[in-house]
Amino acid sequence: MNNHYDLIVIGAGAAGLFCAFNAANNQRVLVLDHANKVGKKILMSGGGRCNFTNLFTTHEDFTSQNPHFCKSALNQYSAYTFLDLVEKHNIEYVEKGPGQLFCKNSSKDILKILLDECASYAVKIYKKCSIKSITKDEVFILDTTLGKFTSDALVIATGGLSIPSLGATGFGYEIARQFGHEIIPTSASLVPFTLDTKLLEKLKSLSGISLKVAVQYRSDSESIEVTDDMLFTHRGISGPAILKISAYWKKGNKVVINLLPDIDVRAYLQAEAVNHPEKLLVTSLSQVIPKRLANYMCEQHWANLRLKQLNAKLLEQLSIKIHNWKLIPSGNEGYKTAEVTKGGVSTDKISSKTLESKLCENLYFIGEVLDITGQLGGYNFQWAWSSAWCAAQNIRKC
């Protein structure tokens, strides 16, 4: 049995599979993965519909120690090019937000594209394969639970630490360190916030409520504001607005939440008081925010307050509670629910054009394993496609 390949890809996720078939023209390619199924993260993404790209992707949608690193790959392989592949396979899709493309039916459609393309280029995929060691002489030598394999080129597409229940590990970081690469400290990103027990007790009646909010986060170096939906949970707060702001938040810092970003509550209530002076405050608020949230805002002192009783002081207090809710999250839910991992293999010793290591010839790092973290909305998948494609083009020239 010939166990030598032109290319071995470690990791059968989005980036790994995409790189494999794009590099496989007239080359022998093998994909290795320790899990029992391939593409697990693809299948669960986007609520099972996979937000597979964002048509408006730019380098500004990513965070990294080197914010310019991803420019080259994104320019070489765009969201529209990936969309061409989706349409070639006759996959139906929908645009749920500006530029955010989801499968109309199921995430399985995206995985099927990858597997069908791999099959058409005779890419071999071995599951349940753990790697014991990797060495390099003239070629890469991989000692695995399925035997020894060698290759001229090696691609690390192992992803990050997010969602360990799907098989995520830090193995890619270990390989990077072995070959002399620095690892930027990792943390969970695009992840719900947790709140302390005392605050959770106060907010327990709000669990399950979702509403549009504007969340602001400021640090010494940046000021970020996100407007999107927020969800109250039994552990804290979640939803797209919170996941997006979590990419910037640092533990111990506060966030400021505007629970009614499209309406000035003071002006709204003043107008209501003119037209309906006998109406209860809670009833009036229930017309612009969820009823349970209105009840929470008015409990105790304001439960029976009528609009005609409002004065400047009360309006100011209400305005602060609704438009300027300040809180310090106790933390976040960690890697177990994080969409992605922030940090990873430093890009300092990686070619931005080819994704090849500058320290080890024919060694490549692609996708989430690198210190490139996209925002919520299809950006991380696009980084997987773009980085994988760029590496594949260079490998084909080996």
Exposure string of 251-288, with b = 16+ CB inside 10 Å and e = fewer, is: eeeebebbbbbeeebbeebeebbeeeeebbbbebbbeb
In one letter, which amino acid is 187?
Answer: S
Q: Give kind and range of the element (H or E) at residue 169.
A: none
User: Mean pLDDT across the stretch 180-200?
Assistant: 97
Specify the pLDDT at position 151. 97
User: Residue 181: is its pLDDT beyond 90?
Assistant: yes
* Band of residue 299 on the pLDDT scale cut at 50, 70, 90: confident
User: Mean pLDDT across the stretch 300-318?
Assistant: 93
Confirm if 186 and 205 have CB atoms less than 8 A apart.
no
User: Mean pLDDT across the stretch 325-345?
Assistant: 97
Specify the pLDDT at position 211. 98
Specify the pLDDT at position 398. 55
pLDDT for 275-288, tens place per residue? 999 999 999 999 99
Specify the pLDDT at position 220. 80
Specify the pLDDT at position 301. 83
What are the structure tokens assigned to 334, written together? Answer: 């960690």
User: Residue 1: is its pLDDT beyond 80?
Assistant: no
* Band of residue 221 on the pLDDT scale cut at 50, 70, 90: confident
User: Mean pLDDT across the stretch 355-362?
Assistant: 98
User: Mean pLDDT across the stretch 125-137?
Assistant: 97
DSSP class of residue 100 equals E
* Band of residue 383 on the pLDDT scale cut at 50, 70, 90: very high
pLDDT for 22-66, tens place per residue? 999 989 999 999 999 999 999 999 999 999 999 999 999 999 999
What SS3 state is found at 263?
coil
Specify the pLDDT at position 143. 98
User: Residue 397: is its pLDDT beyond 70?
Assistant: no
User: Residue 300: is its pLDDT beyond 80?
Assistant: no
What are the structure tokens assigned to 229, written together? Answer: 């939906």
Domains parsed from the chain with CATH numbers: 4-188+340-395 (3.50.50.60), 192-332 (2.40.30.10)
For the chain, give the mean pLDDT: 96
Alpha carbon separation from 172 to 228, 240, 283, 397 (Å, rounded): 33, 28, 55, 24
Specify the pLDDT at position 222. 83
User: Mean pLDDT across the stretch 253-272?
Assistant: 97
Q: How many CB atoms lie within 10 A of CB 172?
A: 26
DSSP letters, 21-52, are HHH-TTS-EEEE-SSSSS-HHHHHGGGGT-EE
Percentages of the chain per state (helix, strand, coil), in multiples of 5: 35, 25, 35
